[in-house]
Amino acid sequence: MSLADDDRLIGTRSRISAAMTGMIRERWGIAAEVDLGPPRDASFGDVSSQIALSIAGQLGLPPRDIADDMVAALREQSPSLGLAEVSVGGPGFVNLRFSDEYLEDFLGLLDARGLCGCLPDVGRGRRAMVEFVSSNPTGPLTVGHCRQAVLGDTIASLLRHVGWKVDREYYYNDSGRQIERLAHSLASRYSDIVSDGSTPFPEDGYQGGYIESWAGDLACRTRCFRWPDDAAEFASFALERAMAMIEQDLDRLGIRFDRFFRETELIPEKTERAIASMREVATPDGPLAYDDSEGKTWIRLTALDRPEDRVVRRADGRYTYRLPDIAYHLDKLQRGYDLLVDVFGSDHLDTSRDVVACVRRLAGPGEVDRKLRVVIHQFVTLMEGGRKVRMSTRAASYVTLGELIDLAGSADVTRYLFLTRRAEAHMDFDLDLARKQSDENPVYYVQYAHARISGILRNAREEGIGLPSAPGSVRGLLRHPRERELMRLLQECPFQVEAAAAALEPHRLTELMAEIASAFHGFYHSVRVLQAEEGSDTASARLLLTSATGKVLRDLLGMVRVEAPERM
């Protein structure tokens, strides 16, 4: 099959939508975008549109009459659109059934190119950046960071697969009060070792055991350090160690960042420029940034429909969190990205809204609304023995990312489980369940399907059974309901991935995989692949279906970066 034919095949669904849009414009003179989705029940058809219901009010016509007209018009074109059947259902759905030829050809295409080779090029080489984790280097990453790490990484992966050029970026604080507190905590542990404990532990210091271990390493050095004279040394040593620890944990999840952006890169030029710009923005209540009598600088967020004005530079000249973050977002916009994704925990929601409001005002609402998208995820509640595990970084009562991976059995299980829920849904992570490593775990279900497929392919090679020799030679051989269901589902995959990327919703991938695995296991139990009673042509056709399913699963598992095992 030629490349042009392949592209025509991939574009079939959008040609159907376009044809429907065209006939609505011709017949009724209105513009309507037609979305195709799976119908409630497979018996209605392969895809369905509710367009007649949506435009009925506008046209003042009964939806069924509209649907009837559209079906009549569609029937004339159906062969060229890969459709075997067009009908009206329920209150006015337009139900479509693909021709067997279309599904068979699509199957061949998926097997030849893999799912990745069939994905639309939405990004067209444009640049996107996903900022995530961005946890301050004051301790190890914990369970909540783990969810965010997996989310952000998979969003980046999704975008890359649909044609974006993606950078992953981690933004962190390398100065300020938290870092000072960290340095002070380290200095105290250090003084316990090298001297007489002359530096008392700060009241709200970080109590994690990792700091004692750093202190031990520092004590091995020939030079002797003193607090507060060597505060800078303590801070840089702690920062270096903390970031190394964080990178090591991320590495266990297989996550690499393209850039670690330090807050001090913005200070003072970019932060001061941001303040200066805000001073020049006039609002009905006065300039967007203003000073008070105590020498503090405020942002007039109330003029941007935000609940409260906020201090962004204190009297001692230090910035509070929001200002560097505003400067950072301006910087990201100026770096020429076409899409910026922020992944934050729900605790950052309020601040994020403030930052976005300011950035919109400074860079222009159109530009920001077009480019910036914020994904907010809810917290993870860790459950153990049927009870919640309380977590706090400062008090050192937490389960680290590394421990979580150990408890869950593997990075793969951890990644997969975090992707089985929508970002904005609260999530219970049951440690006891994770520890079991049993078949209650959904990742095994999908992996088992892949391993089973690999086994069949191995046996086929041994028995000398090959794939169909010519693309057309599976015609009419895959007519079992289970076969057809699997083909229909596979055909949908490129569009589901595209939708998941557009919505920045990686959990759709795990849902899709579970569906495919289920359809495959059902198929496997309904018919014999290699010893097909119907003959060797059928065996080859089923082998093609098996092989294509394997490639789709392999590529989907690849997108969430979970191993696709050959054996289990």
- Looking only at residues 223 through 262 of this chain, which bind RNA when binding is defined by CB under 7 A? none
Residue type, 533: E
Binding piece for RNA, criterion CB under 7 A, among 158-166, 223-231, 510-518, 553-561: 510-518
**Does position 461 bind RNA by CB under 7 A?**
no
| Alpha-carbon gap, residue 397 to 382, rounded angstroms | 12
Nearer to RNA, 28 or 448 (CB): 448
Q: Which member of 207, 454, 538, 549 binds RNA (CB under 7 A)?
A: 454
Q: Is the peptide bond before 268 cis (omega within 30 degrees of 0)?
A: yes
Using rule CB under 7 A, residue 432 touches RNA: no
Q: Does residue 350 belong to the site contacting RNA (CB under 7 A)?
A: yes
Of 416, 421, 565, 558, nearest in space to 493 by CA: 558
- Candidate list 360, 406, 530, 558; residue touching RNA; CB under 7 A: 530
Quick check: 178 binds RNA (CB under 7 A)?
yes
- Closest to RNA by CB, 192 vs 537, is 537
Residues paired with residue 289 on neighbouring β-strands, in sequence order = 299
Instruction: Report the DSSP beta bridge partners of residue 72.
Output: none
* Those residues with Cβ within 8 angstroms of residue 28's Cβ, 6 or more apart along the chain or in another chain: 55, 59, 66
CB 513 within 8 A of CB 556: yes
**Nearer to RNA (CB atom), residue 400 or residue 454:** 454
**Which of 160, 262, 270, 422 lies at the binding interface for RNA (CB under 7 A)?**
422
Half-sphere exposure in the Cβ direction for 474 (13 Å, CA) = 26
Nearest to RNA of 77, 441 (CB atom): 441
Evaluate whether 482 touches 523 at the Cβ level (below 8 Å).
Answer: yes
Which of 84, 406, 514, 537 lies at the binding interface for RNA (CB under 7 A)? 514
Which residue type does 382 have? L
The nearer residue to RNA, 21 or 346, going by C-beta atoms, is 346
* Residue 436 in the binding site for RNA (CB under 7 A): no
Q: Which of 527, 541, 548, 559 binds RNA (CB under 7 A)?
A: 527
Which one, of 549, 530, 461, 553, lies nearest residue 111 by Cα? Answer: 549
| Nearer to RNA (CB atom), residue 187 or residue 449 | 449
Dist CA 494 CA 431 (whole Å): 34
Question: Restricting to residues 71-130, which ones interact with RNA according to CB under 7 A?
Answer: 89-91, 93, 95
Looking at the Cβ atoms of 196 and 533, the one nearer to RNA is: 533
DSSP state letters, 304-317? GT-S--EEEE-TTS
Instruction: Pick the piece of the chain touching RNA (CB under 7 A) from 157-165, 271-279, 435-443, 555-563.
Output: 435-443
**Contacts to RNA from residues 378-397, by CB under 7 A:** 378-379
Does position 176 interact with RNA (CB under 7 A)? The reply is: yes
Applying CB under 7 A, which of residues 442, 471, 480, 534 lies at the interface with RNA? 442
478: phi then psi, degrees, rounded to nearest 5? -115, 75
Among 53, 61, 243, 374, the residue binding RNA under the rule CB under 7 A is 53
Told to check if 373 binds RNA by CB under 7 A, we report no
The answer to whether 554 contacts RNA (rule: CB under 7 A) is no
Strands 127-131 and 165-172: parallel
Side-chain-side CA neighbours of 218 within 13 Å: the count stands at 30
The yes or no reply on residue 28 touching RNA (CB under 7 A) is: no
Neighbours of 247 (CB within 10 A): 16
Q: Return the H-helix or E-strand segment holding 242.
A: helix 231-252
Q: What is the 3-state secondary structure (H, E, C) of 254-271?
A: CCCCCEEEEHHHHCCHHH
> Min. distance of Cβ 286 from RNA in angstroms?
18
In the complex, minimum distance from the CB of residue 502 to RNA, in angstroms, rounded to a whole number: 8
Distant-in-sequence, close-in-space partners of 433: CB < 8 Å, separation ≥ 6: 440, 441
**Distance in Å, CB of 149 to RNA, minimum:** 16
Shortest Å, Cβ 473 to RNA = 19
Binding mask 278-307 for RNA (x = CB under 7 A): ----------------x-x----------x
Q: How far is the CB of 258 from RNA (least distance, A)?
A: 20
Residue partners of 273: CB distance under 8 A and separation at least 6: 327
DSSP-based three-state secondary structure for 59:
helix
Question: Half-sphere exposure of 515 toward its Cβ, with a 13 Å CA cutoff?
Answer: 19
Q: Which residues pair with 240 in a beta bridge?
A: none
Among 17, 54, 99, 410, binds RNA (CB under 7 A): 54
Question: With respect to RNA, which residue has the nearer C-beta, 203 or 294?
Answer: 294
Q: Of 184-223, which residues contact RNA (CB under 7 A)? A: none
Residue among 74, 187, 444, 545 that touches RNA (CB under 7 A)? 444
Q: Which of 355, 427, 490, 564 binds RNA (CB under 7 A)?
A: 427
CA-to-CA distance for 140 and 401, rounded, in angstroms?
8
525 binds RNA (CB under 7 A): yes
Rounded Cα distance, 49 and 23, in Å: 14
How many CB atoms within 10 Å of residue 208? 21
Residue 211 CB neighbour total at 10 angstroms: 25
Give min distance, CB of 93 to RNA, in A. 4
Subset of 469-508 contacting RNA (CB under 7 A) = 499, 503, 505, 507-508
